[in-house]
Amino acid sequence: MKITIYGSGCSKCKQLTTNAEEAARELGLSYEVEKITDVNAIIDAGIMRTPALALDNEIVVEGKVASAADIKKHLG
């Protein structure tokens, strides 16, 4: 499982990262986290609002901090 966080590295981005890792751990998934902070790379990915979360290169959350429970719905 590849977890990608798109954003500037602000507190919301960090919280989204924490929530995504928690969700993956609770489901017993092995995962790697990639953080994309480059504005051009974020735009190239089609993201208009950060923070954003992609799971295996599919954007599932954009412009908000999803809870671990919400992220688990996308993982399960």
Query: Annotated active-site positions, please?
Result: 10, 13
Cβ-proximal residues to 33 (8 Å cutoff; 6+ apart), any chain = 3, 4, 5, 17, 20, 21
The count of residues in the chain is 76
